[in-house]
Each structure stands twice: as C-alpha cells, then as structure tokens.
Structure 1
Amino acid sequence: MSRSNLFVVALAALLALVYAIPTISITGTKFFNSEGKQFYVKGIAYQLIEDDPLINTVQCQRDAALMAELGANSIRVYHVDPSADHTGCMNAFAQYGIYLWVDCDSFKTYVRLGDGPSWTQNKSNFYRAVMDNFQQFDNTAGFFVGNEVLNDVTDSSSAPYLLTAAADLRAYGRSRNYRPIPIGYSATDTGALPMLADYLACRPNVDERLDFYGLNSYRWCGESTFQQSGYDVLLNQTADYNLPIFFTEVGCNTVPPRTFSDQAVVFNEMADVWSGAIIYEWIQEMNQYGLINYGPRLDASINEGSSIVQGLHKLPMFARYGH
C-alpha cells in the first residue's frame, strides 16, 4: 500500500476514534451512557429554516461550539432528509459531546394527518429510513415517533397508532441488528396528560409501550416558582412512571426577558424523576423564541458567525447545574 493510501487509512481511523463517544441507553426510569453514568438531557431545539439542519457541516461546527459554551449536551431536530449524508454534522456535535434526539416523521408521514390517524407502509418506510441513516452514529440518543399527536381526549384514537409505530420501529431495528436506541413520543402539556401518558407508558409488555416520554410545556413564564408554574403538579403526576420522562420543549416567552430559571427546578427538585429538558429554540425567528441570531450570509449556505440574544451571554443555562 502506498504512503498516501496509508495516510488516508490512518486519518480515517483517527477520525473514527475522535468522534466515538459513549452511547445512551435506558435502565429502569433513567438514561445512562455506556460508561455507566446517569445522563440528564440539557438540550436545545435545533430546527433551522431549512428542513434538515444536519447537512451543513460548517454551520453545525459553529453552532456546536456555541452550544457547548452554554453547557448543552443534546439537540432535538424535527425534520431530516433520510437520504442525505449527515456524517459531518453528527461528528461536529459528537466532538462537543452533544447528542441527537430526532423526530422520524416528515410533513407527509405524521401518524395523524388531518383528522385521521393511520400507520401505513409508506409511513413505516420513512421512519425506518431515518433509523437506517442515524443508527450508525454514537451520539444518536433517541427517536421520536410523534410530536403533539394527542392534544386532548378527542385525539385518543391516535394513541394505538403511536404505539404501533414505536413497536414497528423497534422490531425493525432488531431485525437489522442495530444498537438499541430509545424510542419515544413528545406530548402536548394538557389536562389529558395523566390518562394519555399512562396508556402510552404503563403497558405491562415492554415491547408494546414507549421507551421514554417527552412533554412540551410552556407553563413556566417569567420569574415563576415550582408551585406557581405547576411543575410540582407535573412531578406528582409522574412520580410513579416506569420509564424516563423529560421536557422535550420548554420556553415560555410571554414575560420577557427569558431567564430560564425553570432549569434550576428541573435539575434539582425534579431531578429524581425527570431526566432534563430541551429549550425551545436555537435560531431566532418571528416567534421570538430563538437563543441566537445568525450573522449575514457569506454565501448561499454559510452564515458569518452567530450572536447570542436574550442575555444568554450572562447565563450558562445548563453548565451551572450538576448531573
């Protein structure tokens, strides 16, 4: 073998070592990494304007470095192209110890489209393609089979389809001898939470239920408290769950500026039951939830730098908390 070929082989091996990080799995009601340390989600929702934010390696490198300054260890991505190459971005985030929680659906493959839920071969094929693409990365932490499908009791007919989707995806992964990657659902924070969550989370057969449960909650606004926000109610409702639960979106912005004071409660009072939170969201859009502003375009795909908004330069959101 020539010296140039040897160099390429050696470089490839080195890169594989650099970006190999502990994988995430579930034991009981907690997440653990493969080194045996309990894992708490300290995340940021990362859906850029384009459908798939994990194909622009340079931008991912910029964002991963900035997220690491804030103490983040996770991102949530809502839509991806399963036919695209995500190696560059996944390695960029892995380099900073940042894991991916990815929604498997697309705008055309939601479990509930319009008024009717379904689980079809077309939907299954798309979810499987997402698993095929991302199972290869050590920092893929979990898959979502749905987001806010069950918003009140009138949507309860969709619940069996969510479980079917989870069971289908889990069985497919086993048939392909993939690393077991947790599969869950991201729910709306409504009064129907206990009943719907119990149905999805508490079935006696582990193959017929979710691996983890997520909640999108915007009830903590401004300088609230554990009791005023109702976080104490959430804790009481979930104290006996038999699977991990964490916030898959948080971030009320009706009382600016956002101070993220709820994170102190999530990682202290709630930490025995809840496994962390994902803050909504990364890039500033018209909804004014964003944590950062991108600079001007250098070309069609690359932004010149990023600037933190909403006072985050004074607030390492996650780094101040333990776990």
Structure 2
Amino acid sequence: MTINGIWYSRSNSTTDANAMDPLTDPEACTRDAALMSDMGINTIYVMAIDPKENHDDCFSIFNSVGIYVLMMLRKDAVFPTSYDDFAGSYNTDFLKSMFEIVDAVKDYDNLMGFDLGNFPAISQFALSNRDLSYPDAEKMYRAFVRDTKEYIAKNAPRPILVGWTLYLPRNDELLDASDLASDHVYWLGCAVDGDQDDLSRADYVSFWNLGFFETSPVKDQVEGYKSLADKLEFKNVVPVWLQMYGVSDEADYVEYELRPDLVEDSLLLYNSSSQIVQPNGPLSGGARFTWTNANLGWKVPKSNWGLVITQENGNVQQTEMFDRLRSVFKNMNTENWLSGDSVSSGEGHPACKKDDMVNTTTEFFFDQQTTMTIATDWELPTRPAGLDALITSGVGGQRGQMVDVTITAIVHTVRDFKGNVVTDLSLKPSKSESRTTTRSTSSGTAPPVQSSDTPLSTGAKAGIGVGAGVGGLAIAGLAAFFLLRHRRNAKAAAAGKDTQALDQESTEGGGYHKAELATGPGVELQQAELPGATHMSPQEVPAREQKGYIYAMNGDDPAELPTTERTVELPGR
C-alpha cells in the first residue's frame, strides 16, 4: 500500500487539542469523505480526538469509501511537540490519557495505526539548560512504543501499528538529508537482543518537513526527500513515510499560503521516475498538510495551507490547489496504491548492534559549539509505578463500533474555486457489510479476535500484522502492515469523470516557479504496475498565476484491496 494521505483537523483552537477532533460530525465527514475519495486520497492523518466523544459514524463513513485513519496518540501533541511538552511526560497519568484514546478507536476496522507524535528536533536538546539528554529522550519514546503495544496486545481485538515521527534533519546543504536519518530509523526499528517479538521496536518511522518557497522551492524540497530515500535504501528496517509534507509561500495578508504550482511536489514525490516512493523507492508515501485551514495551536495568524475553505455553517469552497492536486492524481493510477505485490525478505528484523550505526553525532552552534550524539544503546527507562497494573487491567475507556452507512447525501453546499455549486457530489460507499459490534465496557478487556471468515466491513478489516508476537513484518508500500483485506475495486462508479482543466487567466502576483513534469511511462502508473495496466501519456497541468487560495484533497471511490491469503512482507534492502 502507498499512503496518499492528508492532514485532517477542523479547529483553530490553541488551547484544547480535543476541540480539533474532526471525527464527531457525521455530516462533515460525509462531505469530506466524498471529496477526498473523488481525488484518490486513501488515508487521513488525525492529530487529536476527544476520547469521550462518539466516532462511530465518521470512522464508518471514511471506511465505506476505503479511507484509513492514522492517529496521533499523544494528548499534548499540538504541532509541534516541544522539549518542554515532552521532557516530563513519561508517567502513569500521561500514559493513561493515551490509553483512553486507544480504547476509543481500537475497534474500528479502518484504523491503520497510532503515531506517538512529533519527536522534538535534536537541536532543542542542544541548549545548556536541558536536563534530559537526546539519547535518554529517544529511549523514553521507545518505552512509549513498548508500553502502548503491550496495552494493545492485552486490551485490543487485534494488533495495531505504533510508530513515531521525527523532524527530517538535514546537513549544511539544504537538499541533503542528514546522515543521522538512517541511523535513527535503524535505532528505532531494530530488535533488542534479536528478539523478533520485541515490543519496543517501532512498527514504522515517519518524517515531517514543510518547505518554504523562498528557501526550498518545490523541486528542492523533493530533492531533500530523494536524499532521504537514498540514505534509507539499505537501512530501511521498518516502513518509512512522510507524516507531513508540503511547500508554502509567504503572503502579505496571511503568514503562509499555498499556490497551485506548489502542489506539484506531490507529482514529483509519487512519480516513479523520482524513485522516492515504493515500489521504486524506500518510502511508503506521505500525508500532505493540510485539508482545511486550522491554526493547530502553533501560529496566531491564519495560514492558507488548506485545500478547501470550510465555513462555520459547514459549507465548503474548493480552492485552486484542490483542483490542481486532483488533476495531478487523476493522471496517476491511485487505485493501485491500495495494492501491491507481496515481497518477503526471508529475514527477520536486524538485531540491535551499536557497530551497525555509522553516523551518530552532529554539531550545532548556539552560544557555543555543541556536539550532539544520538542513542547507541537500548537500555530503556523503568516503568513508572502503577503502569503494569494499568496495562493489565485496562483503563476502561469509552469504546466505539463500526456502523452501517445509510446516508450518502451531502447536506452542505460545496463550490468549486470559481464559485460554482458542485451538484454531482455524494458519498459512494463500496458496499454495506454486516459488522460485529463491540460495546463500551467497564474494563479494557477486548472481545474475541474475529475469525478471518467473518465478513469484513467496507474498509480495511485490519488484523494488522505488526504488534505483540508478530515478527517479520514487511510491506510493499505501507500496507505491509495488514494481514488480510477483502476489498473490491469501486473505481468504475467514477469512470469517465474527467477533471476540468484549470483556466489560464493571469492576475497580478504572477511569475511563479513551475516545476517540470517528469516524462516516461512511469509518470502515470507510478506504483504497482499491475498486469494489464496501460501506460498513459503524462499531461502537464497548466499553471494559474494567482495568489490567495487554499488546497484540499479529493478522490474517486478508492479501490478495495484484493483478498490476500498471507501477510505482506517487508522488501529486503
């Protein structure tokens, strides 16, 4: 599977992360799922939810069109997590709040996994007043992985992926990803003492990096991703993807904005000629920032990052970026990104060895020259008092269940970027399946794991293949994480629906940099070029020279994953 994702949040709250929960309003979810599926989006990245709210409808709605959910797990993870947020967080109360989120969503079929959130950049630990060292912070996060995976193993109906996100470090050359990147991935993904059931190893590692046009134009930003891919080529011990990517520009009336030409980073990122994303590269895709404008707690001025503008009454206006990005993905076989050939390396995860880590130091200059070292051993901190009992008994959080999706009409008004009402928009579920429901209990005890013979719901019935007792995970794309999926191609419902070319008017503020499109047969079919696939000639999307809009993600009904009889395994590198 290749992740074609989008950040999905709804609030401008700067104080309450739970207020950003985008999965409590079924009407809004129906609207956005219809738009995203029309574009080919297959994953939403959700930064925060309120575990006391009901999310049944929204998870089921996204599931009905084949869209998975990746969820940030740290309760304080309003982007970006800082040293101060992080340093004292390894305690029982904090973990209890994380486990409540696990309970709230663990029963949803299309939950792909949990992200422990953005790990503070190494530079934040270079200041002289830091009591927590960077290596100790890494070990603390690996302990979070271990404790969360053990909680899932004892309290959830199936294994669920747990990983964490690093800022993409770079060397002095802006385009060159730091050599530390591959050693971070190795340290996070190796198995302590060679134990293939080691719960402390991350199931995946992701990186985030936002480019700014003045210093990192689209092509340069993508070169940075390619540099990362090159460095991971032989050390990709776990699946790696881009948790947050995008390029923005400064504007007079907002701090940052997106322009139509700036979404071409998606074209260059997913283009097979770039050899960044699988099957031709080591990365498993990424999640673009962001679906709609939201403050996210880190900028007071609003920034036009969004693909759509969402009004207070729920009406939506698409932006030029939405239309441009849809044109990009329409010329790629995004339905194939939910599938892939099963490739097994025949080997387990490498045993953790200090000698296998080549690049472990870097230098910073603040008030003085400082040499920083990453962790080279795997001695994790002792669990805080009471945590063992909490993991064993569960926190008894509110639980959800899959429900049937019966309402497909869009109640809000949706307009294109020219202001015309979009009249043919509706949710198009792939199918309706009977679902085994799970009810909220007074304990965290999980119901029996469903048999593979049980009818699967519309989205990914997960039995995700990484977690307690599951070793040797591997993937072709990030979908190597799933053991069994029954999904059929629902793309035919949207066949023949061409995107309208963007108009070419120019207004003041033109002269934008336009990235060249790569040529060759790989441009269109990028991912798994399945037998019988036809090569489409690349189509260059015309640039619109106008500032001031935002970007949003859309997609056709995504294809369902084909029946798979065995675990998809990680390609050997």
Give TM class, smaller chain.
0.7 to 0.9
**What is the 5 A alignment of 1:294-309?**
294-297=310-313, 303-304=314-315, 306-309=316-319
The alignment status of 1:169 with 2:148, answered yes or no, reads yes
Residue in 2 aligned with 1:291?
Answer: 307
Q: Which position in structure 1 is the counterpart of 2:74?
A: 105
Query: Secondary structure at the residue paired with 1:209?
Result: coil
Give 2:23's match in structure 1, choosing from 38, 46, 54: 54
TM-score w.r.t. the length of structure 2 is 0.45
Cα distance change, pair 319–173 in 1 and its aligned pair in 2 (3 A): farther
* Deviation, structure 1 residue 177: 4.6
User: Are residues 132 and 114 of structure 1, via their aligned partners in 2, closer, same or farther at CA, if it must alter by over 3 Å?
Assistant: closer
Structure 2 letter corresponding to 1:282: W
1: CA distance between counterparts of 2:312 and 2:221? Answer: 43
Structure 2 CA distance for aligned equivalents of residues 307 and 63 of structure 1: 12
**Paired residue type of 2:306:** G
Take 1:259 and 1:224, find their aligned partners in 2: how far apart are those partners? 6
Distance 1:108 1:193, change over 3 A: closer
Summarize the Cα distance change of 1:233–1:173 in structure 2 as closer, same or farther, 3 Å threshold.
Answer: same
Please say if residues 260 and 320 of structure 2, whose CA atoms lie closer than 8 Å, have aligned partners that are also in contact: yes
Tell me which residue corresponds to 2:244: 249
Q: Mapping of 1:1-40 within 5 angstroms? A: 39-40=1-2
Partner of 1:121: 92
2:285 maps to what in 1? 276
Q: CA deviation at 1:262?
A: 2.4
| 1:237 matched to 2:237 | no
1:215 aligns with 2:207: yes
Cα 1:266–1:158 shift into 2, 3 Å? same
Name the SS of the counterpart of 2:263 in structure 1: coil
> How many angstroms does 1:178 deviate by?
2.4
In 2, Cα distance between the equivalents of 1:210 and 1:315? 32
Distance 1:144 1:313, change over 3 A: same
- Residues 227/53 of structure 1: CA separation in 2 closer, same or farther (3 Å cut): closer
SS at 2:20 equivalent: coil
TM-score (norm: length of structure 1) = 0.78
Change (3 A) 1:184 1:258: farther
* Distance apart, 1:291 and its partner CA: 0.8
| Counterparts of 2:208 and 2:77, CA distance in 1 | 22
Give 3-state SS (helix, strand or coil) of 1:138's partner. coil
CA distance in 1 between partners of 2:293 and 2:222 (Å):
28
Mapped to 1, the partners of 2:51 and 2:99 lie a distance apart of 9
Instruction: Please tell me the residue identity of whatever aligns with 1:43.
Output: G
Structure 2 residues not aligned, in runs of 5+: 12-18, 127-133, 171-179, 251-258, 295-301, 338-573
**Structure 1 residues 311, 124: closer, same or farther in 2, change over 3 A?**
closer
**Residue pair 2:47, 2:72 contacting (<8 A) in 1 also:** yes
Q: Give the number of the structure with larger relative contact order, counting CA–CA contacts within 8 Å between residues 6 or more apart.
A: 2
1:214-239 Cα shifts (integer Å, max 9, x gaps) = 11122485864379732221111211
How far apart are residue 202 of structure 1 and its match?
2.9
Query: In 1, Cα distance between the equivalents of 2:122 and 2:320?
Result: 30
Counterpart for residue 147 of structure 1? 118
Q: Given that residues 111 and 117 in structure 1 are in contact (C-alpha distance below 8 angstroms), is that contact kept between their aligned partners in structure 2? A: no
Query: Which protein has the bigger strand share?
Result: 1
> How high is the sequence identity, in percent, across the aligned residues?
21
1:74 matched to 2:40? The reply is no
Deviation at 1:93, TM superposition (A): 0.8
Cα contact 1:79–1:103 (8 A) shared by 2: yes
The structure carrying a bigger helix percent of its residues is 1
The verdict on how the C-alpha distance between 1:40 and 1:108 changes in structure 2, with shifts beyond 3 A counting, is closer
Amino acid at match of 1:260: V
Equivalent position SS for 1:172: helix
Counterpart CA distance in 2 for 1:90 and 1:282 is: 17
SS at match of 2:238: coil
1:197 is matched with which residue? 185
Amino acid at match of 2:186: D
SS in 2 for 1:230: helix
User: Secondary structure at the residue paired with 2:166?
Assistant: strand
